[in-house]
Amino acid sequence: MTQDAPRHPGLNLGRHHPEAHAENEKLMFGFWVFLMSDLILFGIVFATYASLTNPMGQAGGPTPRDVFSLTSAAMQTAILLLSSFTFGLASLALKYRQPSLRAWLAVTLLLGLAFLGLELRDLVQMVADGAVPQRSGWLSAFWVLVPLHGLHVAAGCLWLAVMLVQVTLFGLTTQVSTRLARLSLFWHFLDVVWIGVFSVVYLGGLA
């Protein structure tokens, strides 16, 4: 196997990071396993949400049509998808050790924050409209599912900020590179979960 052959899914660091490339295999596999466990967690919450999305679960309270905005959902989706793409560009910059790495990471961070801002605005609006989790089983499920994803994104943003500091302080050491590789998995994974959120919650609710 040549050195450039990919050893695992996700970002492969390749010949520019010989040590990190080998070390990474174990870490990446472990992180994949963690993500799959997380996937099950999301699946459970999705299933709960689905089972409460009916008149019985809504208990005479607001329904999706009363509280969701398709425009806002579309904007959030677009921002998150774009951030996935910019993280992809950051990954390439990391792999080929290009100076644009920090710029792309910063752009991704800003997009993540923008996404969180929009989501927060929607949630505040819902509270103002009386669509609080205490109102019905369906709203309880919504308030766990969407903020759970939001919390993950917030954690990802914090991680991104820390990594920006570390790249500046330490440069691209083995540890920093492997962490960036795992962060990229995390970020892309959150975007996959978001596909479920906008399909089930927003599109499913408004169709």
Partner 1 sequence: MTLETGRKELRLYVIGFALAATLTAVPFAVVASGTVPRDVSGWVIALCALLQAMVHFRYFLHIDFSRQKREDLQLVLFSVLLLAIMAGGTIWVLANLSARMMP
Partner 2 sequence: MYIALAFVMMARAIAEAAVMRLQQALALDGGFLSEAHYAELFSTHGTIMIFFVAMPFVTGLINIVVPLQIGARDVSFPLLNSISLALTAVGAALMMVSLVIGDFSTGGWTGYPPYTGIVFSPGEGPDYWIWAITLSSVGTTLTGINFAVTIYKERAPGMSFMRMPMFTWTALCSAILMIFALPPITAACVMLALDRYLDFHFFTSDLGGNMMNFANLFWLFGHPEVYLLILPAFGVFSEVIATFSGKRLYGYASLVAATMCIAVLSFTVWVHHFFTMGGSPYLNAVFGAATMTIAIPTGVKIYDWMATMYRGRIRLTVPMVYALGFMMLFVIGGLTGIQLANPTISYQVHNTLFLVAHFHNMLVPGVLFGMLAGYTYWFPKVFGFRLEDRWGYVAAYGWILGFMLVFFPLYVVGLLGMTRRTYDYTTAAFQPWMIVSAVGAGVVLFAFAALVIQLVRSIQGRSALADTTGDPWDGRSLEWSIPSPPPAWNFAVLPEVKDRDDFTRQKEGGAAWNPAAQYDDVELPRNRAVGVIVFLTGTLLGFALVWHVWWMAAAMLAMIVALVIWIGFQGISTETVSAARVYSVDCDFLARKRAALGKSAASGVNTVDPVGRARA
206 binds partner 1 (CB under 8 A): yes
5 burial level (CB within 10 Å; 0-12, 13-18, 19+): exposed
How far is residue 158 from each of residues 105, 149, 154, measured CA to CA in Å? 12, 14, 6
141 binds partner 1 (CB under 8 A): no
Shortest distance in whole angstroms from residue 109 CB to partner 1 = 18
- Are the C-beta atoms of 95 and 14 separated by less than 8 Å? yes
33 binds partner 1 (CB under 8 A): yes
Shortest distance in whole angstroms from residue 85 CB to partner 2 = 26
113 binds partner 1 (CB under 8 A): no
56 binds partner 1 (CB under 8 A): yes
Q: What's the sign of the alpha-carbon dihedral 112, 188, 151, 57?
A: positive
Q: Give the residue among 17, 12, 8, 13 at the shortest CA–CA distance from 173.
A: 17
State which residue, 143 or 186, has the beta carbon closest to partner 2.
143
Shortest distance in whole angstroms from residue 49 CB to partner 2 = 10
How far apart (Å, rounded) are the C-alpha atoms in residues 81 and 68? 20
Residue 10 binding target from partner 2, partner 1, none, CB below 5 to 8 Å by type: partner 1
State which residue, 43 or 117, has the beta carbon closest to partner 1.
43
